[in-house]
Amino acid sequence: MAARMSNPIAAIILAAGKGTRMKSDLHKVLHPIAGRPMLLHLMASFSTLPPAKTVVVVGDKRDQVEAAVAGTGALVAVQDPQLGTAHAALQAKDALAGFDGVVLVCFGDCPMLTAETIRRLCAPLETGALVAVLGFRPRDTAAYGRIIADADGNVSKMVEHKDASPEERAVDLCNSGVIVAAAQDMWRLLEAVGNDNAAGEYYLPDVATGAIAEGKRVAVVETDAAEVAGINSRAELAAAEAQWQAFKREEAMAGGASLRAPETVWFSWDTELGRDVTIEPNVFFGPGVTIADNVKIRANSHIEGATIGAGCEVGPFARLRPGTVLGEKAKVGNFVETKKAVLGEGAKANHLTYLGDVSVGAGANIGAGTITCNYDGYFKYKTEIGERAFIGSNSALVAPVKIGADAIVAAGSAVTRDVADGELRIVRGEQLMKPGWADRFHDAMRKKKAAEKK
């Protein structure tokens, strides 16, 4: 783990904007990447600093954001009306009253920002800089504000694209908007920001401009453009998802997993993989999946909320839903769906089966087409299958029901009562045999069809 910062830090995360380009009823910063809201990605990435306090500034759809950060320890400040980014940051002052350390201002729609970058950004404050800003060099500078700085990273000017001269627009060092300063300096500079501009808003970069006007040193620290790319549209959200997934795939393979077609495997933010795990193409992991060593996940499987023990095999075309737990060397095969299903060591369900609200003992075998009938339209009920039990194909186990150890349920049975240990249960109608009936039927039908053609 990286060392903690020498001075305490407070993080102000701006999340008050409307995010109109998303065209969504969901607040922009709550749109998920790998199943986790981008705002919570950002907050989690700061956990190794860690901030002494975190303040999330809310405005539009504030109830959604407040609900999302409830329980995280973050404080909430409200920006109303919304008069620009400097005005938004200033709304956190009361929440940080008495805080004596470094104040970071960043954006809730930049989930890739890392704690290590924040540490680097804060370093110039310890060598005399009053303010430090985070810069990047994108492929397309588009309409980004520019940072004019010397080779040593000393900033002489911050300029918005629309106000920049042709020479300044030729500079490719752009402003991410992320900024740090000591608390007393940050509040003083924020309060001095004016709104003499076309939009009549108070802009955060003017904190740096104000420090420069005082003759104080402002430093720029550079980072990769991908780390500070804001997400303002569905297309940018998709690009961020692809970026995150690419990183996770590389991390998984570096950790000892084999991905047969990496670009087709989709991880959740919290997926945990053991060593020597093999993942075939077109596998999707939802939240809450933990996989032990030497597991094989075959193609086209969908897994969420599941714990998979060492040596298991899953799929192809398997769906493991929340509450699934597979013991060591258990096997869930093609077109098998599980939900709140606990399979013991070596248990097998190889084909075309639904296992819901069930415990399956070690070594049990579930035949093709078996279903646990766990819902009566009002309540869910549990099925218990003992160790080494054998459930014949096309059986229906009507819960609540218990199948004993070493019991056998004959194929095609509909079991509604408990089966004792070692018992054979057959629940099906008696077979009737009518020799020659089919031949007589076919002859009669052929004659009838021929007669209709005349």
pLDDT digits (tens, 9 = 90+) for 393-406: 999 999 999 999 99
- Burial, 332: exposed, middle or buried (Cβ in 10 Å; 0-12, 13-18, 19+)? buried
Continuous segment of H or E residues that includes residue 296: strand 296-297
Q: Specify the fold of 9-227.
A: Spore Coat Polysaccharide Biosynthesis Protein SpsA; Chain A (3.90.550)
Among 90-99, 193-202, 225-234, 370-379, the range scoring the smallest mean pLDDT is 193-202
- How far is the C-alpha of 336 from the C-alpha of 358, rounded, in Å? 14
**Rounded percentage of the chain residues whose pLDDT exceeds 90:** 90
pLDDT digits (tens, 9 = 90+) for 242-293: 999 999 999 999 999 999 999 999 999 999 999 999 999 999 999 999 999 9
pLDDT band at 353 (very low <50, low <70, confident <90, very high): very high
What number is the average pLDDT over the span 146-162?
93
Q: Which amino acid is at 134?
A: L
pLDDT of 199:
77
Strands 383-385 and 401-403 turn out to be parallel
Q: In the chain, which residues fall in CATH 3.90.550.10? A: 9-227
Q: In the chain, which residues fall in CATH 2.160.10.10? A: 250-425
pLDDT band at 294 (very low <50, low <70, confident <90, very high): very high
**Rounded percentage of the chain residues whose pLDDT exceeds 70:** 99
Burial track 294-310 (b if 16+ CB lie within 10 A, e otherwise)? bbbbbbbbbbbbbbbbb
Whether the predicted pLDDT of 412 surpasses 80: yes
Does 161 qualify as catalytic in the annotation? no
- How far is the C-alpha of 123 from the C-alpha of 11, rounded, in Å? 16
3-state percent breakdown (helix, strand, coil) of the chain, nearest 5: 25, 30, 45
pLDDT of 5:
62
pLDDT digits (tens, 9 = 90+) for 215-239: 999 999 999 999 998 899 999 999 9
Whether the predicted pLDDT of 1 surpasses 60: no
Whether the predicted pLDDT of 156 surpasses 60: yes
- Write down the catalytic residue from 41, 302, 351, 442: 351
Whether the predicted pLDDT of 370 surpasses 50: yes
pLDDT of 194:
93
pLDDT of 75:
97
pLDDT of 374:
96
Whether the predicted pLDDT of 454 surpasses 80: no
Q: Which amino acid is at 350?
A: N
Q: Which CATH number fits domain 250-425: 3.90.1580.10, 3.40.630.30, 3.40.50.1370, 2.160.10.10?
A: 2.160.10.10
pLDDT band at 197 (very low <50, low <70, confident <90, very high): confident
pLDDT of 10:
97
pLDDT digits (tens, 9 = 90+) for 39-61: 999 999 999 899 999 999 999 99
- Burial, 262: exposed, middle or buried (Cβ in 10 Å; 0-12, 13-18, 19+)? middle
Residues 6+ apart with CB under 8 A from 434: none
| Residue of 227, 105, 216 whose CA lies nearest to 154 | 216
